[in-house]
Amino acid sequence: MSRDSSSRTLVLLTGGTGGAKLVLGFHEETAPEDLVVVCNTADDSVVHGLHVSPDVDTIVYTLAGLIDPAKGWGIHDDTFAVLEQIQRLGGETWFHLGDRDIATHLTRTRLLTEGQPLSRVTAALCQALGVKSTVLPMSDQRVETRLSTSAGELSFQEYFVKARWQPEVLSLRYRGIETCGPSPGLLEAIHGAALVVVCPSNPATSIGPILAVPGVRAALRETPAKVAAVSPMVQGRSFSGPAHKLMATLGVEASVTGLAAAYRDFVDVLVIDTEDRGLQPAIEQLGVDARATSIRMDTLDDKKRLARELLQFSV
Amino acid sequence: MSRDSSSRTLVLLTGGTGGAKLVLGFHEETAPEDLVVVCNTADDSVVHGLHVSPDVDTIVYTLAGLIDPAKGWGIHDDTFAVLEQIQRLGGETWFHLGDRDIATHLTRTRLLTEGQPLSRVTAALCQALGVKSTVLPMSDQRVETRLSTSAGELSFQEYFVKARWQPEVLSLRYRGIETCGPSPGLLEAIHGAALVVVCPSNPATSIGPILAVPGVRAALRETPAKVAAVSPMVQGRSFSGPAHKLMATLGVEASVTGLAAAYRDFVDVLVIDTEDRGLQPAIEQLGVDARATSIRMDTLDDKKRLARELLQFSV
């Protein structure tokens, strides 16, 4: 447990919307250049031929001050002229892409086609948008969450956006995960961090893929840094989205106790909501330290306060 | 010279802006379903990863009533949110793509990637936009005009848009032309037409590639239909663009006489401006009938009148 006390790097593992709230809190409470935000890419999709990285984009737009705060994704005040015309041309429009957002995807797709890895493309987008933090896609290789559901096999976006997470999910897998590798610098960042935070994102479809990238889970177990996780649910229900519905695919119950069971091999402390404080003993029986606080992040002040509380765990 | 007198098909060979004016005239003066518009595709470019077909789009937009009448290309009242954001992301923006225009290119690129040929993609776009005429790209295979210039080798769009047709053009070639084939139905349309019209487009970079598609020039020579051509220039200068500058690459002088020399093997009648009527004898010495009239098409009435005059040559 000896740590390099000079490190101020905070490594945040995150999906989109929920995790992005906490990422913004850290961004406001620390030096942005000390943040390394590791994003799930297993929801990446090809939409109208464009490579869309929903979680990466949500994080980049959040850090760039471009995010649409009402929706939690996309660019604020974006227009939809392209999509409206695509509809007129008979194309599918269930995946809502704004015009400025499409510029991101066009640029990313062009750079990927030119042979640049996703991590370098993401760094270029960050630089162009003035983002000082490091945003790392979990892998430069393509990984895709596939859900076996009551409505057949679906990609995550088909399940989440098109089917509005109504089908029953029987199982899921991360296609391509075995042969992918972590983005350059990812394992090193975990090892050298002052603190690692697993953000309140879906454990099955956002955090799960990151943990399944070869080397990542072992690095989290072995890092000298403390690893904290923030629950994405209260009293067995997620704040938004289907996290609670998908806990069974991890073989655990839909509760913070189930979460502790899923993360117990690498998490030092699990931050749960005060409403769940009755489960603290059950979590600690699993060998995970449990801290109860308000984990709702409705306002910027909520986000900053939660980030400050987590910073207390850093070296 | 025996013709199928039941045919009412008008085959128009055209590039973009200049030719599109006459295409619109025919569209107003005939039944739209009788028009087969054959478009140059040697200016097609990949822009931000998207397959752009400038001449096809200009014709489709013109026939769909979407064209920007002031510019002669693009969609009227289009917005530029995508391009502005691409600029912010550090991308090139010299090729002006509007948002609704980008929807066309996204749809085309997606369908091409799915394996559909350009002719079928174009038909689908026409159908979606309510275009009743047949718009045929000259070929389903990729052909690219390459210009050897005083500023190095350029694509047509680099020469025309980026360099504003200022470099001196030494020679040009249509890369891929030898191995391409005409679009399905193109040769048959020429053979069965009531009239073929070579529109007032650039003889070197718009009409030239169409004529060079294997089989097209022979079909024009052999069709029982009359073949009429409208000059894109008056007194040795084109109405717009660099046509006159590029005549030398065809081995002829920049004049309607040069044009007659270039087209003499397949054109029955060349329509020239009244200002050029002094050149009628020289043209007729080349074995080409010459008709002088006003070929300026500033107003819709001009376009319709010129179309009506040409319709007199049909069977």
Residue of chain A whose Cα is closest to the Cα of B101: A82
DSSP state of B168: P
A129 contacts on B by Cβ (under 8 Å): 88-89
pLDDT 10s digits, A87-98: 999 998 888 999
Please give the order of strands across the beta sheet that includes A269-273: A134-137, A35-39, A10-14, A195-198, A226-230, A269-273, A289-293
What whole-number percentage of chain A has pLDDT above 90? 86
For residue B195, the distance in angstroms to the closest alpha carbon of chain A comes to 32
CA B152 to chain A, closest CA, distance in angstroms equals: 23
The pLDDT value recorded for residue B162 is 87
Candidates A99, A109, A111, A121: best to mutate against B (most CBs of B within 10 A) is A99
Q: In angstroms, what separates the C-alpha of B82 from chain A's closest C-alpha?
A: 5
Q: What is the pLDDT of residue A130?
A: 97
Nearest CA in chain B to A86: B103
Render the burial of B140-177: b for 16+ CB within 10 Å, e for the rest: bbebbbbbbbeeeebbbbbbbbebebebebeebebebb
For the cut 80, the answer to whether the pLDDT of residue A6 exceeds it is no
Query: Region A229-238: what's the mean pLDDT?
Result: 95
Strand partners, B234: B237
Q: Which residue of B has its CA nearest to A78?
A: B81
DSSP conformational letter for B160: I
Nearest-by-CA chain B residue for A91: B107
Three-state DSSP at B67 gives strand
- Which of B48, B99, B109 minimises the CB distance to A82? B99
Interface contact A79-B79, CB threshold 8 A: yes
Pick from A91, A102, A129: which is nearest to B107 by CB?
Answer: A91
Which residues of chain A are at the B interface, by a Cβ-Cβ cutoff of 8 Å? 48-50, 78-79, 81-86, 88-91, 99-100, 102-104, 106-107, 109-110, 113, 124-125, 128-129
Contacts of B110 in chain A (CB under 8 A): 48-49, 91
State whether B103 and A124 contact (CB < 8 Å).
no
Here the ipTM equals: 0.89
In chain A, the residue whose alpha carbon lies closest to the alpha carbon of B104 is: A86
Please, what's the largest Cα pairwise distance for chain A?
61
Burial readout A27-60 (b: 16 or more C-beta within 10 A, e: otherwise): bebbeeebbbbbbbbbbbbebbbbbbbbbbbbbb
If pLDDT is split at 50, 70 and 90, which confidence band does A244 have?
confident
Cα separation, B67 vs A289, in Å, equals 66
| Nearest-CA distance A109 → chain B (Å) | 7
Give contacts of B99 with chain A, Cβ < 8 Å: 79, 81-82, 85, 99
The identity of residue B34, as a single letter, is D
Task: List all residues 6 or more positions away from B261 whose beta carbon is below 8 Å from its beta carbon.
Answer: B252, B253, B286
Contact B44, B146 (CB under 8 A): no
Inspect the interface and report whether the beta carbons of B82 and A86 lie closer than 8 Å: no
Buried b (16+ CB within 10 A) or exposed e, B220-240: beebebbbbbbbbbbeeebbe
Asked whether the predicted pLDDT for residue A241 surpasses 90, the reply is no
Could you give the angle at which helices B81-88 and B99-113 cross, rounded to 10 degrees? 80
Q: Which helix (H) or strand (E) holds B52?
A: strand B50-52
At A198, give phi and psi (nearest 5°): -90, 115
Mutate to test the interface with A, among B57, B79, B85 (most CBs of A within 10 A): B85
**Contact call for A86 and B109, based on CB within 8 A:** no
Distances A270 to A38, A231, A233, A279, B33 between C-alpha atoms, Å: 19, 7, 12, 11, 69
B83, A103: Cβ pair inside 8 Å?
A: yes
pLDDT score for B241: 83
Q: Checking DSSP bridges between strand A134-137 and strand A50-52, what pairing results, if any?
A: unpaired
Which of B49, B81, B89 is nearest residue A109 as measured by Cβ atoms?
Answer: B49
CA gap A83, B82 in Å, rounded: 11
Whole-angstrom distance, CA of residue A213 vs CA of residue A266: 15
Chain B residue numbers with beta carbons less than 8 Å from the beta carbon of A90 are 107, 124, 128
Phi–psi pair at B213, nearest 5 degrees: -65, 125
The pTM for the full model equals 0.91
Residue count (chain B): 315
Task: Answer whether B75's CB lies under 8 Å from B61's CB.
Answer: yes
d(CA A116, nearest CA chain B) in Å: 14
Q: Any bridge partners for residue B230, and if so which? A: B271
Distance from CA of B214 to the nearest CA of A (A): 32
Which residue type is seen at B276?
A: D
pLDDT in tens, A19-73: 999 999 999 999 999 999 999 999 999 999 999 999 999 999 999 999 998 888 8
* Token reading at A42: 């297993």
What HEC string does chain A produce?
A: CCCCCCCCCEEEEECCHHHHHHHHHHHHHCCHHHEEEEECCCCCEEECCEEECHHHHHHHHHHCCCECCCCCCCECCCCCHHHHHHHHCCCCCCCCCCHHHHHHHHHHHHHHHCCCCHHHHHHHHHHHCCCCCEEEECECCCCEEEEEECCEEEEHHHHHHHCCCCCCEEEEEEECCCCCCECCCHHHHHHCCCEEEECCCCHHHHHHHHHHCCCHHHHHHHCCCEEEEECCEECCEECCCCHHHHHHHHCCCCCHHHHHHHHCCCCCEEEEEHHHHHHHHHHHHCCCEEEEECCCCCCHHHHHHHHHHHHCCCC
- Record the tokens describing residue B38, joined without a space: 């054959």
Residue A149 pLDDT: 93
Q: Do A258 and A228 touch, CB atoms closer than 8 A?
A: no
| B contact set with A (CB within 8 A) | 48-50, 78-79, 81-86, 88-91, 99-100, 102-104, 106-107, 109-110, 113, 124-125, 128-129
Where b means 16+ CB within 10 Å and e means fewer, A289-305 reads bbbbeebebeeeebbbb
**pLDDT given at position A3:** 46
* Separation in Å, CA of B173 to nearest CA in chain A: 26
User: Looking at chain A, how many residues does it have?
Assistant: 315
CA B183, CA B272: separation in Å to the nearest integer?
Answer: 30
Per-residue pLDDT in tens (0 to 9) along chain B, 315 residues: 344 456 899 999 999 989 999 999 999 999 999 999 999 999 999 999 999 999 999 999 999 999 998 888 899 999 999 999 999 999 988 889 999 999 999 999 999 999 999 999 999 999 999 999 999 999 999 999 999 999 999 999 899 888 889 999 999 999 999 999 999 999 999 999 999 999 999 999 999 999 999 999 999 999 999 999 999 999 999 988 888 889 988 889 999 999 999 999 999 999 999 999 999 999 999 999 999 999 999 999 999 999 999 999 987
- Which residue from B19, B76, B10 is spatially nearest to B203, judged by alpha carbons? B19
Considering only CB atoms, A110 lies closest to which of B49, B84, B104, namely B49
pLDDT at residue number B2? 40
**pLDDT at position A252 over 70:** yes
Angle B13-B17-B21 (CA atoms, 0-180°, nearest 5)?
75
C-alpha distance from A295 to closest chain B C-alpha (Å): 35
